[in-house]
Structure 1
Amino acid sequence: MAKAVCQKGPWSVRVSPCRAGESVSTTADHKPCFYLYDTLHSKLGVKLPFSHFERAVLQALNVAPTQLHPNSWAYVRAFELLCEDLKKAPTLGVFFWFYTVKKAEKVGWTSLCSRPKRKLFQPFLASYKKFKAQFFKVTPGDTGPNLLVDRS
């Protein structure tokens, strides 16, 4: 599965199914790791390593990949593809001109919502269902650059 999730490159990661009862908020057993919902790569084409823009959005929002709702990931991905098509570098300033942050503290989500009168894209799906149970764990492999730590 790591080959399906990763872009070609020298990196090495382990992608493994989660144990029974494990959730995306499970504390790691002293090993660096993060979780990804399967829908991010299977439906939205998000690959590892995250692009510079994807990392910048996660850092600006101060969230882990699974704390950003899949519809919000779709906005990030669509914006990045639009910029690529326009031959422009995606920037946080322009992106956040179109989107604002909505945190659902009760469930731990961070969502992006279109600002009034600035709708750029339709939501990917009106309602995501059953994605919460379909996730996997990403841990460093034995060789190659570390995908879990941004050294830039």
Structure 2
Amino acid sequence: MSDTEGVPEGQASSKHKLVDTIADPELAWVAPEPRGIASVLTANDSWLYTIVENNGAGPVNWEVHVPAEGEQICSPYTEGGFTMYELAFRELGYKLPFNDFEAEVFGRLNVAPSQLHPNAMAFIRAYQVLCRYLEVEATVPLFFHIFKIQRQRVGDQQGWVSLKHASSKIFKMFVESARGFKERYYVIKPVKEFALNSLYMDKPVFLEDGSPQLDEEGEQVTEWGLRFPLAWTSEHFQMGTKEYLSAAMDLTPEERAGFLKMKAVVKKFKPCTFTTATGAVALDKYGKPRVEARFVNTKALLACKSVEEEKLLLGI
């Protein structure tokens, strides 16, 4: 299994049958699985997790809605609405509004957040945590030097976009199997101006030849636009996977130093030794102890409840 694959494309959970209810020709490019899996969430679901922001006792800025019949994970929604997997908030630690780094990653990839496989969403969060405690700036170029893009294609249709390590492996996958998360998604809608504005930014305007559009005073013209797509879009696939990545020569000296610090942390982890059911050391076919390199445990890191727990896990 690759670094970011879950259930192979085209396979749904054994409990749910694919039923394609999408008639929109604009979504003809979407693969069968995301087109056909309806959300199983209901307002009366006792396991429903709806904490999507850290507002304390303040006003509610975002509302969670169960998709209507016929609405799928890849469907477009009105009033600034977008789909999210419950897992992103329940287990990965995301909170709205997305921070600048997260929004920039989605924008660089030109995807809606729910277009990313959960392992990719987990890598985004774990990378930020590791950078914070190594006192490394979490930049997008460094992120896309560590990770490369993996796509799930079915014929001429596309599924989730995944990430895997480009060279040195630093993080373990969050989940080995993606069964279960794909049926648990809902629609997030901003209900306050603050929330809606967090999805937008001033973006530079370019002419057809790619040059910047300037005003009468020679200043760059900008327009108020989305920071990243809210609905699934095929525009991500107009570029090759390598075009999203950062070469070593494109990194700043600080980013290169940060990458070395990350690799150094992983290098200090003691290899894992396999044992048999009786507790004896397991041997490989050459009669040597079976060992496996250890990496940052993404799932355990995102489950930490305090800074102290994170530091203990990372050995900092």
Q: Please give the residue correspondences for 1:60-75 in structure 2 after superposition, counting only pairs within 5 Å.
A: 60-75=108-123
Q: What do residues 59-79 of structure 1 show as CA deviations (whole Å, max 9, x unaligned)?
A: 111100110100001111000
| Contact 1:12/1:142, CA 8 A, preserved across alignment | yes
Q: Counterparts of 2:165 and 2:149 in 1: how far apart (Å)?
A: 9
SS in 1 for 2:161: strand
Residue in 1 aligned with 2:83? Answer: 35
Deviations 1:63-120 (A, max 9, x none): 001101000011110001111112232011111111001122434211101113x101
What is aligned with 2:160? Answer: 109
Consecutive unaligned residues of structure 1, counting only runs of 5 or more, are none
Tell me the percent identity: 31
Equivalent residue for 1:7, pick from 54, 70, 73: 54
Cα deviation per residue 1:8-61 (whole Å; 9 max; x = unaligned)?
A: 376612111112332111232x43210100000101111111111111110111
2:185 matched residue in structure 1:
135
Instruction: State how far apart, in whole Å, the 2-side matches of 1:144 and 1:50 are.
Output: 12
Partner of 1:83, secondary structure, is helix
Give the distance between the partners of 1:39 and 1:3, measured in 2 at CA. Answer: 10
CA distance in 2, matches of 1:4, 1:84: 24
Aligned length: 150
Letter in 2 for 1:104: Q
The TM-score, its normalising length taken from structure 1, stands at 0.87
Structure possessing the higher relative contact order (Cα contacts under 8 Å, 6 or more residues apart): 1
Distance of aligned partners of 1:90 and 1:147 in 2 relative to their CA distance in 1, 3 Å threshold = same
Q: Per the alignment, in what secondary structure is the counterpart of residue 51 of structure 2?
A: helix
Match of 2:69 among 3, 20, 23: 20
Distance in 1 (alpha carbons) for counterparts of 2:73 and 2:192: 23
| TM-score, normalised with respect to structure 2 | 0.44
d(CA) in 1 for partners of 2:159, 2:197: 24
Question: Residue 23 of structure 1: SS of its match in structure 2?
Answer: coil
Question: What's the CA shift for 1:148?
Answer: 5.7
Instruction: Tell me the distance in 1 between the aligned counterparts of 2:76 and 2:87.
Output: 22
The 1:48/1:125 distance shift into structure 2, 3 A limit, reads same
SS state at 2:194 partner: coil
Alignment RMSD: 2.2
Contact map agreement 2:49 2:86 (CA 8 A) in 1? no
Unmatched 5+ residue regions in structure 2? 1-47, 203-316
Q: After TM superposition, what 4+ stretches of structure 1 lie above 3 angstroms from structure 2?
A: 142-145
Q: 1:52 to 1:144 in 2, by over 3 A?
A: closer
